[in-house]
Copies of this chain bind each other. A is one copy, B any other.
Amino acid sequence: MIDYIRDGAEIYRQSFATIRAESDLSRLPADLSQVAVRMVHACGMVDLVADIAWSPNVVADARAALRAGAPILCDAAMVASGVTRRRLPADNPVVCTLSDPRVPGLAAELGTTRSAAALELWRDQLDGAVVAIGNAPTALFRLLEMVAEGAGRPAAVLGIPVGFIGAAESKQALADNDLGLEYLVVRGRRGGSAITAAAINAIASEEE
């Protein structure tokens, strides 16, 4: 037998203690600090905290929306897969429309990526929703266009796409939005489905 910790609760406790000891969480509001700990936990990098940017009410508004039953709209199946259903306060719908059979046609028609075109199928749920974009910069850009066009305003937008083309720019555009959107981003290239799902899980329940 190899010597390692087998107690899941103890692993969580030590993990979160290590993150709190090594991260500079002092610049974050208290409610976001707890969210940041889970985001760091999902990626193994304490320096992620320095790249987090936010609007003042993002955690409170997202949490209130979830408690009121708002859906969670995800750009990628991995984000939806990472949302821990038992943490959700109102058995909230977790929606990812990317694999809908209408999406390839919409993408061709709109001249955009499937990830962006999939947002067309969010229109009847967008207003008041919690949006979790953890993969595609084009989805985040498209969300900003749709909100600007009057498609409805989400309660909060977690905009944490990852990558080299458009990721940093789309997150900057969200952080600069003049649409009144509450937002949480990770500046730069880093992000992804695990960090995004971790943020949702932390917002959904204050339980560690």
Contacts and interface: CB of A to CB of B under 8 A. Distances in A.
Q: Give me the 9 closest cross-chain CB pairs, A-B, nearest first.
A: A44-B189, A81-B81, A6-B112, A8-B113, A18-B164, A15-B164, A44-B162, A44-B190, A192-B194
Given A19-B164, A192-B194, A194-B78, A6 B116 contact: yes
28 contacts: A2-B141, A4-B137, A4-B141, A5-B166, A6-B116, A8-B113, A8-B115, A11-B138, A11-B166, A14-B165, A15-B164, A41-B163, A42-B192, A43-B43, A43-B190, A43-B192, A44-B167, A44-B189, A44-B191, A45-B189, A77-B82, A78-B197, A80-B81, A162-B194, A192-B194, A193-B193, A193-B194, A194-B194
Interface of A: 1-2, 4-8, 11, 14-15, 18-19, 41-45, 77-78, 80-82, 107, 111-116, 137-138, 141, 144-145, 162-167, 169-170, 173, 188-194, 197
A78 B42 CA distance: 12
A16 to B, nearest CB: 9
B173 A2 contact: yes
A113 B12 CA distance: 11
Main secondary structure of the interface of A (DSSP, over half): helix
Given A44-B189, A77-B81, A190-B43, A165 B15 contact: yes
Contacts of A164: 14-15, 18-19, 41, 44
A54 to B, nearest CB: 19
A4 B141 CA distance: 8
Contacts of A11: 113, 138, 165-166
A7 to B, nearest CB: 8
A5 B137 CA distance: 10
A15 B164 CA distance: 5
Given A4-B170, A45-B190, 9 more contacts: A2-B141, A4-B137, A4-B141, A6-B113, A8-B114, A19-B164, A41-B163, A78-B193, A162-B194
